[in-house]
Chain A
Amino acid sequence: MTDLLKTALHARHVELGAKMVPFAGYDMPVQYPMGVLKEHLHTREKAGLFDVSHMGQVFLVPKNKKFATAAKALEKLVPADIQSLEPGQQRYSQFLNEDGGILDDLMISRLAMEGYEHVLYLVVNAGCKITDYDHLEKHMPKGVEVQVKDDTLSLIALQGPRAAAVLGTLAPAVHDLVFMTHTDLELKGELETPVWAHVSRSGYTGEDGYEISVKHEDVGRLVDELLSYDDVEAIGLGARDSLRLEAGLCLYGHDIDTSVSPIEAGLFWSVQKHRRSADAGYFGAARVASDLADKTTKRLVGIKPEGRAPAREHTEVQDLDGNTIGEITSGGFGPTAGGPVAMGYVARKFTKAGTDVQLIVRGKARPAKITKLPFAPHNYYRGA
């Protein structure tokens, strides 16, 4: 067994009393003494602080300093439109293989800082990052440099309705960011010396909030400052999972992997209109186009078990006649929903909200309904 990696915040997690577990090669906090349920509710009511430094942060830098060079190169690997990104904009997409299967999902930003507007900044999943970096190295042309920054940059997320008020005291300009935009600025507030940060208004909880990239040597004192606010609590991976499930957000390796296309995964919205044809010019474009046309393909849907019994990953989904129609890919208890919640794939003719299905939990058929996602309303900030 290889040694687990540690983020720059590892000692603080231990000091805060976190229960540490191996996750994607890192020793990460799954919960703090507060417990998953209260951590989840605290994030929805106030603000939760997450260490997501295990995720990969990588820059694509075109040597000719032309944004279009980097954008066109990345557009070969992802279905999203990258060339139309304005400085300060961010977009969600997926790396696809040649068959249109999802290799990873990621956030793509075009930097806004003067003199760096040609640079793309990507955040990828911890569990996929090594293969993602290889994929980028293999497919980026010579003129586009791949700069992996995991050895210098940490990443934290501040999520919840109080996130803007708290981070706003460190830098008032963060109030002006709308969902899926970002900026680079100094965080100051009560900090003795300011922390230079890349701040984006986005996250993985369905709440308003920020993801904040800072240097390893600065992340500790920034976290100490944020945790000094009564509204802010440290939140572990357990609540991160229940929050994203209620928000209807996919988890790589569970809801999405190389066996499904973005269309099957319900990520149609992340493929801009002119990128939906078979000749759009990226790996997997043919699959995206054919899955859109083919009514026999499956779809990821929300599934609400009736009663209180959670239905976990790999639970069989049946129609009312007992025929297998799909499988749950994420399932558990939703503290905000106040009951069990799940996502899974079903054959396309069963995807209509309200359709009655049954779930086979420990050998017993339990009633459930196909439902619209999310289970907890998104509270993104889209402007005053």
Chain B
Amino acid sequence: MSTYFTEDHEWIKVDGDTGTVGISGYAAKALGDVVFVELPEVGAEFDKGDEAAVVESVKAASEVYSPVGGEVTAVNEALEEAPETVNASPDGDGWFLKIKIADADELSSLMDEAKYKTYCDGL
């Protein structure tokens, strides 16, 4: 399994043709305490860069963009009752959705973990 990152701080963990999507620890920390997560419907189709979910902290709402195009196959319903999981475990239990990747070539434009770390250090 490989994990890729976007410049907007989403991550996608790829297992076969399915990707699990969440937001990075850097993003979770920057947002502060997450109080609400709005998830898409299972079956929704997104292009790369489409707004896929919304994450709200005490102060503001932020969009979560789909790192690649594809169809949503599952969402993390546990976040509806426990949105704070995004802060507690951004790269684990705080995942947002699973997507069936339409075109694996789109992954090549994303950053690997080392590149993403360098990217964050420069922010």
- Chain A interface residue count, CB cutoff 8 Å, equals 19
Asked if B59 and A36 make an inter-chain contact with CB atoms under 8 angstroms apart, the answer reads yes
B56 in the interface (beta carbon within 8 A)? yes
| Residues A332 and B58 in contact in the complex (CB < 8 Å), given A308-B35, A308-B36 | yes
* A 29-48 contacts with B by CB, 8 A: 30-31, 35-38, 40
| A339 nearest in chain B by CB position | B35
Asked if A310 and B61 make an inter-chain contact with CB atoms under 8 angstroms apart, the answer reads yes
Which residue in A35, A38, A242, A310 is a CB contact (below 8 Å) of B56? A310
| Residues A35 and B32 in contact in the complex (CB < 8 Å), given A238-B58, A332-B59 | yes
Chain A neighbourhood of B33, CB < 8 A: 35-38
Chain B neighbourhood of A56, CB < 8 A: none
CB distance from B79 to the nearest CB of A (A): 10
Cα distance, A35 to B31, chains bound together (Å)? 10
Cα distance, A333 to B33, chains bound together (Å)? 10
Cα distance, A238 to B54, chains bound together (Å)? 20
| B38 nearest in chain A by CB position | A309
A312 in the interface (beta carbon within 8 A)? yes
Asked if A36 and B32 make an inter-chain contact with CB atoms under 8 angstroms apart, the answer reads yes
* A 167-206 contacts with B by CB, 8 A: none
Asked if B36 and A335 make an inter-chain contact with CB atoms under 8 angstroms apart, the answer reads no
A340 in the interface (beta carbon within 8 A)? yes
Cα distance, A31 to B30, chains bound together (Å)? 11
A138 in the interface (beta carbon within 8 A)? no
A362 in the interface (beta carbon within 8 A)? yes
Which residue in B36, B38, B54 is a CB contact (below 8 Å) of A333? B36
| A312 nearest in chain B by CB position | B61
Chain A neighbourhood of B38, CB < 8 A: 309, 362
Chain B neighbourhood of A30, CB < 8 A: 59
* B 1-44 contacts with A by CB, 8 A: 32-33, 35-36, 38
Which residue in A31, A37, A242, A310 is a CB contact (below 8 Å) of B36? A310
| A242 nearest in chain B by CB position | B58
B69 in the interface (beta carbon within 8 A)? no
Which residue in A31, A37, A241, A362 is a CB contact (below 8 Å) of B54? A362
B93 in the interface (beta carbon within 8 A)? no
Interface string of B54-88 (1 = CB under 8 A from A): 10111111000000000000000000100100000
Cα distance, A31 to B29, chains bound together (Å)? 12
Cα distance, A94 to B36, chains bound together (Å)? 35
| B60 nearest in chain A by CB position | A312
CB distance from B39 to the nearest CB of A (A): 11
Asked if A340 and B36 make an inter-chain contact with CB atoms under 8 angstroms apart, the answer reads yes
| Residues A310 and B32 in contact in the complex (CB < 8 Å), given A333-B56, A335-B58 | no
Cα distance, A371 to B59, chains bound together (Å)? 22
Chain A neighbourhood of B59, CB < 8 A: 30, 36, 238, 241-242, 332
Which residue in B32, B56, B60, B80 is a CB contact (below 8 Å) of A37? B32
Asked if B35 and A333 make an inter-chain contact with CB atoms under 8 angstroms apart, the answer reads yes
Chain A neighbourhood of B61, CB < 8 A: 310, 312
| A30 nearest in chain B by CB position | B59
CB distance from B122 to the nearest CB of A (A): 19
Chain A neighbourhood of B58, CB < 8 A: 36-37, 40, 238, 242, 332-333, 335
Which residue in A38, A310, A312 is a CB contact (below 8 Å) of B35? A310
CB distance from B32 to the nearest CB of A (A): 5
Interface string of A319-358 (1 = CB under 8 A from B): 0000000000000110100001000000000000000000
Cα distance, A362 to B61, chains bound together (Å)? 11
Cα distance, A79 to B35, chains bound together (Å)? 40
| Residues A308 and B80 in contact in the complex (CB < 8 Å), given A36-B59, A37-B58 | yes
Chain B neighbourhood of A40, CB < 8 A: 58
Asked if B83 and A308 make an inter-chain contact with CB atoms under 8 angstroms apart, the answer reads yes
Chain B neighbourhood of A332, CB < 8 A: 58-59
| 14 CB-based A-B contacts, threshold 8 Å | A35-B33, A37-B32, A37-B33, A37-B35, A40-B58, A238-B32, A238-B59, A242-B59, A308-B83, A310-B35, A310-B56, A332-B58, A333-B56, A335-B58
Q: Which 6 A-B pairs have the closest CB atoms?
A: A37-B33, A333-B35, A36-B58, A308-B36, A333-B58, A35-B32
Residues of A bordering B, CB below 8 Å:
30-31, 35-38, 40, 238, 241-242, 308-310, 312, 332-333, 335, 340, 362
Q: A35-B32, A36-B32, A332-B58 are in contact. List 15 more A-B contacts (CB 8 A).
A: A31-B32, A35-B33, A36-B57, A36-B58, A36-B59, A37-B33, A37-B58, A38-B33, A308-B35, A308-B36, A308-B80, A310-B61, A332-B59, A333-B58, A335-B58
